[in-house]
Chain A
Amino acid sequence: MTPDETTRQALIALIPRLRRFARVLTGSIADADDVVQASLEKAMVNLEQYQPGTRLDAWVFRIAHNHWVDDRRRAHNRMGHDDIGEMLDLAGEDGREVVEASAEARMVRAAVDSLPPEQRDVVALVMLEELSYREAADMLGLPIGTVMSRLSRAKAALARRMTAQGVVQ
């Protein structure tokens, strides 16, 4: 396999995580898939910029995040939030078995969707992708303490919302 082909295969393997990341950022699976598609196109076009041996996922996630930041500046009101229902539509019949839209999970997603965009960024990177605070800070171009405080506020907001909904005591 050529190096580009190896990278291409790695990008394919990254798509599910990239979708999850974009879903948290955008709040809707439709917008998320638009972001993922645009990010993959940019990645393919700029493969020469990728440094073999460095983290491909970090490179692509950064592309995706930058794309979304630009995109949300351009189009202030996107589709708005959706949930698993639209994803089921996209996924088709096969999706119905793997996607279990439990009430609790739906509530947690709605709580995440209600966070301000800058808090969703750190939730996506630190909670879901499990980046270190330093890695997240580097990717977002923020000081580490700011990443920490955003996540702190995000956790507090999530806890309040979940408590109000009876998901956590």
Chain B
Amino acid sequence: MSPSFTDGQLASFMDGTLEDEALIDAIEAAINADPALAERAEALVAGEPIAAMVRDAFAPVLDAPVPERLTTTLAPREAEVVDLAAVRAAKSAALPKPANDTGRSSWRWPQLGAMAASLVVGVLIGGRLLNGGADAPAGDDLVLASADLTAMLDSAPSGQKTDLSALGEGEVVLTFRNADGQLCRQFLIQGTGGVTSDALACAGGSDKRWQIEAYGRRAAPVGKMKLAGGDAAPAVVAAVDAMINSDPLVGPDEIAELGKK
């Protein structure tokens, strides 16, 4: 049974004119336990000269010019925009049937997609953004600049964790060929800062350099917010789904194909 309070007491509580500290605590506890009392108290809030003064006092902050460093934080990350429509348009062949009856493994495409789901992009682009450096590639031909990453993509089998020194730890999760016959590898990077990124790279051009086709950061904890699970970056999953045109390459096949790139 919660104690009862008068409208006068509640109004004073809401207006900040109640001086009895014990009564303030009692009303707080009662309201916490009784939603109806909360509503009643809220309805008693009077005109608020103090609130108006506080709003006026801080209004200049709203009107002040925004420092450039804040808007720069939100600069479009053009390199991160993956044109999925173009990717899909370029896909000439229908997707293969789910490969769950090959006897090779019980993996099905959705599982592969989920594994593939989280990758690299943020490490590459985020580093560029945060450091303000202009040395990272951008635009359509986003070529891997990291020797460690290139080495991993050139030779590491799927599932093998690879130390990428400053970038963190990398792992290729899927290898396949696209409709153009290019070798493509989906991989993830577990950044040293705890951010996991997903990416898809295909060996393109005459020199068969690894080019980033898609990337995205995995959902990461923000403050007290919880992760929504270990899902890979949707942009990468979608790109893999759009481009994959072979069975996943694993084991000796994968190594052999890597040798041919």
Residues of A participating in the B interface, judged by any CB pair closer than 8 Å: 2, 4-5, 8, 11-12, 15-17, 19-20, 23-24, 29, 33, 36-37, 40-42, 44-46, 48-49, 62-63, 65-67, 69-70, 84, 87, 90-92, 94-95, 98-101, 104-106, 108-109, 112, 123, 127-128, 132-134, 141, 143-146, 148-149, 151-159, 162, 167-168
CB <8 Å contact, A156 and B19: yes
Which B residues lie within 8 Å of A100 (CB)? 60
Q: In the complex, what distance in Å separates the CA atom of A5 from the CA atom of B76?
A: 8
**Residue from B14, B17, B50, B234 with most neighbouring chain A CB atoms (10 Å):** B50
Q: Give the contacting residue for A112; candidates B32, B57, B220; CB below 8 A.
A: B57
CA of A92 to CA of B67, assembled, Å:
10
Interface pair B28/A91, CB less than 8 Å apart: no
12 additional contacts, CB 8 Å, given A4-B81, A145-B38, A162-B53? A46-B217, A46-B222, A108-B53, A112-B58, A128-B55, A148-B14, A153-B16, A155-B17, A156-B16, A156-B19, A158-B16, A159-B50
Residue of B14, B71, B233 touching A48 (CB-CB under 8 A): B233
Q: Is B60 in contact with A87, judged by CB distance below 8 angstroms? A: yes
Known contacts A98-B64, A148-B41, A162-B53; A46 and B219 CB within 8 A of each other: yes
Q: Which residues of A contact B73 (CB under 8 A)?
A: 37, 40-41, 44
Which are the 8 A-B pairs with shortest beta-carbon distances? Answer: A66-B223, A155-B16, A145-B31, A108-B57, A149-B28, A145-B32, A143-B32, A156-B16
Please report the C-alpha to C-alpha distance between residue A145 and residue B33 in the assembled complex, in whole angstroms: 8
B126 / chain A contacts, CB cutoff of 8 Å? 45
> Which B residues have a C-beta under 8 Å from some C-beta of A?
13-19, 24-25, 27-33, 35, 37-38, 41-42, 48-51, 53-58, 60-67, 69-71, 73-74, 76-77, 81, 122, 126, 130, 195, 216-217, 219-220, 222-225, 228, 233-234
Instruction: With both chains docked as a complex, state the minimum distance between the C-beta of B55 and any C-beta of chain A, in angstroms.
Output: 6
Q: Interface on chain A toward B: helix, strand, loop, or mixed SS? A: helix
Contacts of B13 in A (CB 8 A): 148-149, 152
CA distance A51 to B195 in the complex (A): 20
CB distance from B135 to the nearest CB of A (A): 20
Is the CB–CB distance between B71 and A12 below 8 Å? yes
Note all chain B residues with C-beta closer than 8 A to A128.
54-55, 58
Contact between B31 and A148, CB atoms less than 8 A apart: yes
The residue of chain B having its C-beta at the shortest distance from the C-beta of A97 within the complex is: B63
Question: Can you list 14 A-B contacts (CB < 8 A)?
Answer: A40-B74, A45-B195, A49-B225, A62-B223, A66-B224, A91-B65, A98-B64, A99-B60, A108-B54, A112-B57, A145-B37, A148-B13, A152-B15, A152-B24
What's the least CB distance linking A71 to chain B, in Å? 10
